[in-house]
């Protein structure tokens, strides 16, 4: 079977991995805090994708479908939402203090 | 019985130090009284003739080592006890007169009593450790008494020097004691004597070992009796008050070394090498000191070197296996040397602390009693026939004659020199014309000072006739062996030559006609020690202190401190503050963890 | 007799109660003084009633942690002859330390709390029969020392305190490793922190040679650093020079001896083969202590540094006694431990008095004190004579027994060690000469003497004990003999 004709678990995992890497690269490289934040979200959603894919392709013995992975995704989405709320509040107050969103300027966390 | 002899001086010293300081007369009385009680005890032991009741106190008792505070009652000990307490009592009485005006009078007598306690302990000691304990205490008392006038830097230095040189001797002594204990298994004299009498040198102990051990014991004597090369402290010890010089540095403490040699003689005898060394060191010291005395001008220094010389004789006698002769000479020497020192003290007191003989002269006129007693003392020392010193010295020379002719010749020559310098001293100080104005103001000393002089003079005269030597034991060489007449004749001849020569040369001079720098400067002993021992030690100490501070301290402490701080500095650079750098490191860590778990552990 | 059983507990925790009392307002100096005096009385009483048999007496045990499979830790306190001697030393020196502390000192409460805690730590360490508490009590004593030196010390105190504490903490770390190694080397069934049970287990099944070779250097290193064994001695002189009198007296007098106590309890009885393997190393190090440090002491120009180095030097002698392994040597070591503690306390206390009175500690700036302050001179000279081993005072008895004990076993080492008596005479007499004899040095004000017994009684107390040991050591020897026998027979 051809990779390009049938969609298997591996395709989803590859996509998920790719998204994760892009998000990671963004966190490591981008200068604006908001963009870093968005890349963080990207990483989270990549994990979500992986979870859903696993869930979809996983069949318990006895033919029963379970939905544990999708439930986990719900959890993650909820947590991500909460985290965004808190994080954006922090970024806003940080901007008010420092007048910048350039990560290179926020370097006080050192000895 | 032994406690009656030993304890009163200690109690006196303690009482005076703690309570009686302000009450000067009472302190003196207590101290003299204690000495008298000790004398009474010594007489009791003497008359008990070996049957005295002596008790022992266990000081430390451990498996293999029993240290006791006990007593020996044999003739050697009882003779020495009489000498120490008897001469000591006379000196105590004299000292009261001499030190009457000194503000530290009580302190002086307390220390004097401490000394008596320590010295009596040495004499009574029934084992090596007890002897060592009191040996060191005697050194301590000597330190305190030499440095009595401690405001004088010279006195403080002299006291320190005496103690340290003595300590070096004690180092050897202690090693000798340890060696003896290791070889024979005991430290008690009786047990050792029996052991040596029964089996001699135990099997497996080489001659080298026993020589080293006995030499260690002899080192103690070298320190205490100021033999070459540990002689340097005795002349400086004259910084102390004259009664101190009389008691400690003439009659008793310095004699303790000789006493100890006689006590452990049976051990020393096991090594012929050590006996040779003892003999030669004794002879050398004797000659060395006599030569230096020829050129000294301080009355006490001359007497000090004379003491050194006579001690050399005694040690030499021990080296010739003649312990009875040595003890005989020790006893007579105690009499006439104490007499000479006290008489010198009388002179110094009468001339208001003038000690240079060239500033005296014609003291015969001003201090008749002192003059007569000093004369008797001089004659006894130089060996005028019939006086005590003659018999004892001649017996030593006789023993030497039969042992080693070279040593005999040295001894004879030293006797000649002794006669010479003592006559020089006597002529310059007591005869002729007054050399300075101050002599006219001299006066005879009070009775409290002259009576001891007279008593000692009597002892110096009759000492040869009262059978001291027979009491101690048989002579090593009996008088029937050949050459007695020759030796007697030669010694009388040396006396006459020495005395006559000095009389001719110094009879009418007003200042020192001859000058031999090397003799005047005591063969530069102090300078040699300073250059070869003291300075190198100071340099080594300074170097080691530097080494310790920089290398040991630097290496361990500062290096570890610096490395910890340095590591901190390096690691600090990792905390740049850049959040993204932190993220990178974080991710790398996670990757490593994943690798570890997935690849390493899972397989 | 039950009261006596709880006496060790009282002795250890009375200082803690006193600290609480001081913290809540009672007059600091008086409370501290009362506490240490009561402790001394209790200790002396304990000594009187101590039976002559070997083994621990008056034991009281309180369970703390009881995990049967891991470890059980009980607070077990009791005395035997050896601990009795050390506890007596601690009690006497504590009294002296509190008494010589200045009457007006800033932050008085904290000062006396620190002193009392050190005393408590030392007493607890010596009275503990449980290995864990042996270690912990010593640590308890470490931090107050740091505070005392760092806050109330003299010049250079911050560096000295920090150096000393970190050094000693490192030593404690090595020691902890050693103790743990010791504990885990015990066979499983007999694994206990209680010294008595350890003794029973190890008398039947002693350690193997391999484990001994592993444990011994750790213990020796750990305790050695605490005792200032060469080359780990650098903290001592600077630390003592900068510390106030009480801290120096307690540390040099008591806490240093804890190291030896630990070695006597753990290393000497149970690790003989390990000791033999390392004996040459130990002999070299202890000779370095005696000779090398002795010469360094000679070069010192400052009184407190000299005394600090001198205390390091005398540790060499005690090590020699320990290394000999013979009853005579070990007894001598203990006698010297006690005597040196007393004499070091005496000298450090008087040194601080001299510093106060003359305003200087440089030897060449002093001089002629004997005529102005005779009582001070008398006591100091007594202390110096004691420390250099003059008969009549305790140190001599200890040194003599050590030399006798070590002579047959380690002749060459003893030969060199005996030379130490000459070296110590040199520097002590030089110090005495510089301080007390000769001409007057440059003082700021007129020097006054110690005001009789009222001011000098702590020193007199120390001197009396030194004389008691020196004139007649049999009582002390009899006290420690049973324990030494036990140690040697193992």
Of B572, B577, B584, Cβ closest to residue A109: B577
C60: closest CA of chain B, how far (Å): 31
Spatial neighbors of A87 by CB under 8 A, at least 6 apart, are: A37
- Do C and B make contact, counting contact as 3+ CB pairs within 8 angstroms? yes
> Taking CB atoms and an 8 Å cut-off, how many pairs form between chains B and C?
128
Question: Under an 8 A CB cutoff, do C292 and B542 touch?
Answer: no
Q: How far apart are CA B454 and CA B343, in angstroms?
A: 10
pLDDT tens figures, A55-100:
988 877 777 778 888 999 999 999 999 999 999 999 999 999 989 8
| Token code pair at residue B377 | 């003392």
Q: What is the pLDDT of residue C429?
A: 92
Chain B interface includes C426 (CB < 8 A): yes
Beta-carbon separation of A108 and B577 below 8 A: yes
Chain A's closest residue to B581, CA to CA, is A28
pLDDT band at A111 (very low <50, low <70, confident <90, very high): low
Contact C300 B545 (CB under 8 A): yes
Q: Which of residues 43-102 of A touch B (CB under 8 A)?
A: none
Chains C and A make contact, 3+ CB pairs within 8 Å: no
pLDDT at C258: 92
Closest partner CB to B178 (pick from C403, C436, C439): C403
Say what the pTM is. 0.87
Q: In Å, how far is B150's CA from the nearest CA of chain C?
A: 5
> Comparing B77-86, B232-241, B479-488, C25-34, which segment has the lowest mean pLDDT?
B479-488
Q: CB–CB of C437 and B153 under 8 A?
A: yes
- The reply to whether residue C414 touches residue B129, judged by beta carbons under 8 angstroms, is no
Give me the residues paired with residue C63 across strands: C74
Which of B576, B584, B587 faces A110 most closely, judged by CB atoms?
B576
Nearest to B578 among A24, A107, A111 (CB): A107
Distance from CA of B151 to the nearest CA of C (A): 5
Q: Which residue has the tokens 């000498």?
A: B83
Residue of B574, B578, B585, B594 to mutate for A, most A C-beta atoms under 10 A: B578
Q: What is the structure's pLDDT at B480?
A: 66
- Nearest-angstrom CA–CA distance, B262 and B354: 38
Residues 6+ apart with CB under 8 A from C47: C84, C88, C479
Residue B361's pLDDT is 78
Neighboring chain C residues of B173 at a CB cutoff of 8 Å: none
pLDDT (average), residues B111-139: 92
From the list C230, C405, C257, C262, the residue with the least C-alpha distance to C324 is C405
Which residues of chain C make contact with B160, given a CB cutoff of 8 A? 429-430, 432-433
Q: From the list C295, C328, C368, which residue is nearest B540 (CB)?
A: C295
What is the Cα–Cα distance from B114 to B107, expressed in whole angstroms? 11
| Pair C168, C225: CB distance under 8 Å | yes
Q: Does B583 touch chain A (CB under 8 A)?
A: yes
Per-residue DSSP letter, C41: H
Taking the CA atoms of chain B, what radius of gyration do you get in angstroms? 31
pLDDT of C1 reads 56
Q: Which residues pair with C73 in a beta bridge?
A: C65
Chain C interface disruption, residue of B167, B184, B559, most C CBs within 10 A? B167
Q: Cβ contacts (< 8 Å) between C396 and chain B: which residues?
A: 133, 136
Please give the backbone phi and psi of residue C316, each rounded to the nearest 5 degrees, phi first.
-60, -40
What is the 8-class DSSP label of residue A60? Answer: -
Residues of chain A in contact with residue B576, where contact means CB-CB under 8 angstroms, are 107, 110
Question: How far does the CA of residue C24 sit from the closest CA of chain B (Å)?
Answer: 40
Q: State the average pLDDT over residues B426-432.
A: 84
The 10 Å Cβ neighbour count of residue B293 is 27
The count of other CB atoms within 10 Å of the CB of residue C453 is 9
Q: What is the pLDDT of residue C463?
A: 92
Residues of chain A contacting B580 with CB distance shorter than 8 Å: 27-29, 103
Segment B214-233, tens digit of pLDDT: 999 999 999 988 888 888 88
Is residue C29 within 8 Å of C109, Cβ to Cβ?
Answer: no
Euclidean distance between CA atoms C140 and C119, whole angstroms:
10
Instruction: List the chains bordering chain A where 3 or more Cβ pairs fall under 8 Å.
Output: B
Q: Chain C residues with CB inside 8 Å of B153's CB?
A: 437-439
Longest dimension (CA), chain A: 60
Interchain contact B570–A (C-beta under 8 A): no
Is residue C236 within 8 Å of C228, Cβ to Cβ? yes
Per-residue pLDDT 10s for chain C (490 aa) are: 577 788 888 888 899 999 998 888 888 888 899 999 999 999 998 888 888 777 788 888 887 777 766 677 888 888 888 999 999 999 999 999 999 888 778 888 889 999 999 999 999 999 998 888 999 999 999 999 999 998 888 888 888 898 888 889 999 999 999 999 998 888 877 777 888 888 888 888 888 888 888 899 999 999 999 998 888 888 898 889 888 988 999 999 899 999 999 999 988 888 888 888 888 899 999 998 899 999 989 888 889 999 999 999 999 999 999 998 888 999 999 999 999 999 999 999 999 888 888 878 888 888 778 877 888 889 999 999 999 999 989 899 999 999 999 998 888 889 999 999 999 999 999 999 888 887 777 765 567 766 677 788 899 999 999 999 998 888 888 888 888 888 877 6
Residue showing tokens 């965004």: A84
Rounded Cα distance, C460 and C378, in Å: 10
Please report the pLDDT score of residue B603 as a whole number. Answer: 65
Identity of the residue in B164, B174, B548 whose CB atom sits nearest the CB atom of C296: B548
Cβ within 8 Å, pair A104-B578: yes
Phi, then psi, of A102 in degrees rounded to 5? -80, 120
Local structure of residue A103 (DSSP, 8 states): G
Q: For chain C, what are the domain ranges?
A: 278-490
* B585 to chain C, closest Cα gap in Å: 32
Q: For helices B105-124 and B2-18, what crossing angle results, to 10°?
A: 160
Contact B578 A103 (CB under 8 A): yes
Residue range B231-260: mean pLDDT, rounded = 86
All chains having 3 or more CB pairs closer than 8 angstroms to chain C = B
Q: DSSP secondary-structure letter at B446?
A: P
Q: Which residues in chain B are contacts of A26 at CB distance < 8 A?
A: none
Tokens standing for residue C331: 């007894």
Distance from CA of B593 to the nearest CA of A (A): 17
Contact assessment for residue C266 and residue C182, using Cβ atoms and an 8 Å cutoff = yes
B580/A27 touch (CB, cutoff 8 Å), yes or no: yes
Asked if pLDDT for residue B140 goes beyond 90, the answer is yes
The distance of B599 to chain A (nearest Cα, Å) reads 19
d(CA C251, CA C239): 10
C464 CB near a chain B CB, below 8 Å? Answer: no
Write out chain B residues lying below 8 Å of A94, CB-based. Answer: none
Question: Out of B21-30, B483-492, C444-453, which region has the weakest mean confidence (pLDDT)?
Answer: C444-453
With CA atoms as reference, the chain B residue closest to A25 would be B584
Tell me the nearest-neighbour CA distance from C368 into chain B, angstroms: 6
Joined tokens for residue B556: 């361990």
Chain B closest-CA separation from residue A105 CA (Å)? 8
Tokens representing residue C37 in the block: 């005096």
């Amino acid at each position: 079977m051809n990779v390009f004709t049938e969609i298997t678990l591996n395709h989803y995992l590859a996509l998920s991995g790719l998204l994760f890497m892009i998000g990671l690269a963004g966190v490591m490289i981008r200068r604006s805090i908001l963009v870093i934040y968005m890349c963080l979200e990207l990483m989270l959603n990549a994990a979500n994708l992986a979870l859903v894919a696993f869930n979809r392709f996983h069949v318990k013995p006895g033919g029963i479908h379970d939905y544990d992975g999708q439930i986990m995704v719900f959890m993650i989405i909820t947590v991500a939402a909460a985290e965004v709320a808190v994080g954006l509040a922090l970024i806003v107050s940080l901007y008010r203090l420092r007048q910048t969103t350039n990560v290179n300027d926020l370097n006080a966390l050192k000895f | 019985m032994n406690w009656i002899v030993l304890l009163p001086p200690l109690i006196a010293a303690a009482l005076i130090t703690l309570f009686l300081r302000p009450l000067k007369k009472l302190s003196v009385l207590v101290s003299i009284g204690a000495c008298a009680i000790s004398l009474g005890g010594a007489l009791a032991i003497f008359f008990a003739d070996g049957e005295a009741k002596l008790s022992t106190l266990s000081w430390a008792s451990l498996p293999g080592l029993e240290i006791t505070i006990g007593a020996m009652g044999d003739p050697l000990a009882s003779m020495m006890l009489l000498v120490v307490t008897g001469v000591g009592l006379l000196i105590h009485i004299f000292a009261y007169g001499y030190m009457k005006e000194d503000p530290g009078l009580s302190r002086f007598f307390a220390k004097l009593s401490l000394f008596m306690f320590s010295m009596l302990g040495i004499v009574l000691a029934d084992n090596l450790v007890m002897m060592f304990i009191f040996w060191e205490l005697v050194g301590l008392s000597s330190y305190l008494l030499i440095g009595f006038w401690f405001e004088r830097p010279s006195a403080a230095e002299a006291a320190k020097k005496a103690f340290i040189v003595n300590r070096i001797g004690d180092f050897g002594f202690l090693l000798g004691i340890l060696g003896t204990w290791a070889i024979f298994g005991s430290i008690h004299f009786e047990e050792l004597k029996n052991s040596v009498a029964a089996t001699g040198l135990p099997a497996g102990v080489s001659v080298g070992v026993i020589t080293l051990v006995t030499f260690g014991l002899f080192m103690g004597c070298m320190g205490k009796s100021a033999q070459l090369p540990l002689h340097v402290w005795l002349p400086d010890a004259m910084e102390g008050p004259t009664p101190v010089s009389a008691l400690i540095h003439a009659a008793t403490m310095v004699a303790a070394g000789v006493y100890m040699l006689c006590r452990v003689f049976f051990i020393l005898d096991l090594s012929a090498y050590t006996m040779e060394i003892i003999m030669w060191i004794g002879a050398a010291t004797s000659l060395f000191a006599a030569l230096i005395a020829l050129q000294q001008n301080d009355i006490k220094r001359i007497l000090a070197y004379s003491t050194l010389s006579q001690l050399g004789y005694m040690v030499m006698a021990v080296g010739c296996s003649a312990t009875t002769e040595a003890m005989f000479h020790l006893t007579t020497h105690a009499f006439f040397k104490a007499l000479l020192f006290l008489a010198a003290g009388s002179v110094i007191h009468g001339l208001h602390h003038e000690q240079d003989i060239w500033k005296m002269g014609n003291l015969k006129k001003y201090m008749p009693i002192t003059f007569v007693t000093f004369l008797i003392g001089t004659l006894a020392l130089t060996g005028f026939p019939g006086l005590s010193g003659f018999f004892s010295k001649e017996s030593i020379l006789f023993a030497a004659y039969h042992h080693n002719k070279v040593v005999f010749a040295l001894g004879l020559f030293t006797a000649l020199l002794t006669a010479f310098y003592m006559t020089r001293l006597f002529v310059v100080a007591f005869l002729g014309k007054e050399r300075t104005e101050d002599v006219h103001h001299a006066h005879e000393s009070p009775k409290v000072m002259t009576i001891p002089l007279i008593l000692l003079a009597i002892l110096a005269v009759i000492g040869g006739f009262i059978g001291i030597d027979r009491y101690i034991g048989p002579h090593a060489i009996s008088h029937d062996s050949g050459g007695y007449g020759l030796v007697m004749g030669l010694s009388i001849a040396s006396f006459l030559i020495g005395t006559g020569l000095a009389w001719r040369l110094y009879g009418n001079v007003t200042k020192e006609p001859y000058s031999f720098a090397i003799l005047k400067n005591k063969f530069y002993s102090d300078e040699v020690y300073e250059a070869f021992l003291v300075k190198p030690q100071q340099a080594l100490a300074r170097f080691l202190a530097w080494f310790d501070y920089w290398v040991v301290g630097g290496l361990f402490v500062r290096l570890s401190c610096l490395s910890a701080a340095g590591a901190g500095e390096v690691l600090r650079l990792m905390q740049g503050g850049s959040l993204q750098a932190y993220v990178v490191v974080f991710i790398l860590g996670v990757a490593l963890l994943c690798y570890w778990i997935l690849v390493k552990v899972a397989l | 007799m039950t009261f006596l059983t709880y006496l060790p507990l009282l002795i250890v925790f009375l200082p803690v109660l006193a600290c609480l009392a001081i913290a809540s307002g009672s007059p600091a100096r008086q409370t501290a003084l009362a506490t240490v005096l009561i402790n001394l009385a209790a200790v002396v009483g304990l000594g009187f009633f101590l039976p002559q048999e070997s083994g621990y007496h008056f034991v009281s045990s309180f369970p703390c942690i009881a995990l049967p499979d891991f470890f059980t830790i009980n607070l077990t306190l009791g005395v035997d002859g050896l601990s009795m001697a050390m506890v007596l030393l601690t009690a006497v020196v504590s009294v002296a330390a509190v008494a010589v502390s200045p009457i007006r000192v800033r932050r008085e409460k904290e000062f006396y709390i620190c002193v009392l805690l050190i005393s408590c730590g030392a007493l607890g360490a010596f009275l503990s029969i449980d290995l864990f508490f042996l270690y912990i009590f010593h640590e308890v004593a470490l931090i107050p020392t740091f505070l005392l030196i760092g806050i109330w010390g003299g010049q250079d105190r911050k560096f000295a305190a920090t150096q000393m504490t970190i050094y000693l903490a490192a030593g404690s770390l090595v020691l902890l490793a050693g103790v743990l190694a010791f504990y885990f080397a015990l066979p499983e069934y007999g694994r206990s922190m209680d010294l008595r049970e350890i003794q029973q287990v190890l008398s039947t099944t002693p350690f193997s040679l391999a484990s001994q070779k592993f444990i011994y250097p750790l213990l020796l290193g750990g305790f050695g650093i605490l005792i200032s064994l060469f080359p780990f001695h650098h903290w001592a002189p600077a630390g003592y020079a900068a510390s106030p009198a009480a801290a120096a007296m307690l540390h040099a007098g008591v806490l240093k001896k804890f190291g030896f106590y630990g070695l006597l309890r753990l290393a000497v009885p149970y690790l003989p083969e390990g000791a033999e393997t390392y004996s040459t190393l130990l002999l070299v190090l202890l000779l370095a202590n005696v000779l090398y440090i002795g010469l360094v002491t000679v070069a010192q120009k400052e009184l407190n540094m000299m005394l600090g180095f001198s205390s390091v030097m005398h540790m060499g002698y005690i090590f020699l006694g320990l290394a000999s392994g013979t009853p005579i040597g070990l007894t001598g070591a203990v006698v010297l431990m006690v005597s040196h503690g007393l004499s070091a306390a005496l000298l450090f206390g008087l040194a601080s008095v001299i510093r106060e009175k003359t305003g200087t500690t440089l030897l060449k700036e002093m001089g002629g004190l004997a005529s102005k302050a005779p009582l001070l001179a008398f006591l100091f000279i007594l202390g110096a004579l004691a420390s250099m081993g003059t008969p009549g005072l305790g140190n001599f008895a200890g040194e003599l027994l050590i030399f006798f004990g070590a002579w047959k076993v380690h002749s060459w080492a003893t030969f060199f060690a005996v030379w130490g008596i000459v070296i110590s005479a040199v520097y002590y007499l030089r110090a005495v000469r510089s301080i007390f004899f000769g001409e007057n040095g440059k003082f700021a004000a007129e020097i006054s003497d110690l005001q009789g017994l009222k001011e000098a009684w702590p020193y007199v107390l120390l001197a009396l004990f030194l004389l008691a040991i020196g004139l007649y050591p049999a009582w002390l020897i009899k006290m420690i003999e049973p324990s030494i026998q036990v140690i040697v027979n193992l």
